Amino acid sequence: MTYLAKSPWIIHYDASSCNGCDIEILACLTPMYDVERFGIINTGNPKHADIFVVTGSVNEQNREVILNIYNQMPDPKVAVAVGICATSGGVFRECYNVAGGIDKLIPVDVYVMGCAARPESIIDGIVTALGILEKKRSEGASAPVVTDHHMNKEHHKHAEGGVQ
């Protein structure tokens, strides 16, 4: 990372995580870890955000919210899956209502491992995301509008069977 034309703003969404990873994300915003030193600000408005930080996994209740946030973000944008739940569904992956990691629904650029993900790992993932964001900016990359058909069809069958 050498030069950023604009301070990168993140938007954080808790997609049914246990809050463990969310607490670690909040720790990154405190003076102890201080991600603002990279110019990073946590915004609540997807239209102002460059980096989508998601914890937890995709389920029937939150998939529309994830799509709504992602599709409102301007191009170029980067998605970061934080924690093993966001990466693969984690310990909840066998639940009848869980489709899996965030990449079942939207393109994910960076995966941050851990349960919970450590602040150092989250910051490393965000800094990696900054590099990807700058590359996308220089290439003029744009992401397609993502729709629900990206959902794993097998999941729907699984979910329908699970509630019987």
Interaction site with ligand SF4 (CB under 6 A)? 17-18, 20-21, 55-56, 83-85, 90-91, 115-116
Question: Between residues 52 and 76, which has the closer beta carbon with respect to ligand SF4?
Answer: 52
C-beta of 20 vs 107, nearer to ligand SF4: 20
In the complex, minimum distance from the CB of residue 92 to ligand SF4, in angstroms, rounded to a whole number: 7
In the complex, the smallest distance separating the C-beta of residue 91 from ligand SF4, rounded to whole angstroms, is 6
Q: Indicate the residue among 103 and 134 with the shorter CB distance to ligand SF4.
A: 103
Is residue 126 within 8 A of residue 1, CB to CB? The reply is no
Tell me how far, at minimum, the Cβ of 114 lies from ligand SF4, in Å. 7
**Helix (H), strand (E) at residue 16:** none
Provide the residue type at 119 as one letter.
P
**Collapsed DSSP state (helix, strand, coil) of residue 72:** helix
Least gap, CB of 157 to ligand SF4 (angstroms): 24
Q: Output phi, psi for 25, to 5 deg.
A: -65, -45
User: Does residue 119 sit in helix, strand or coil?
Assistant: helix
Residues 149, 31: Cα–Cα separation, whole Å: 41
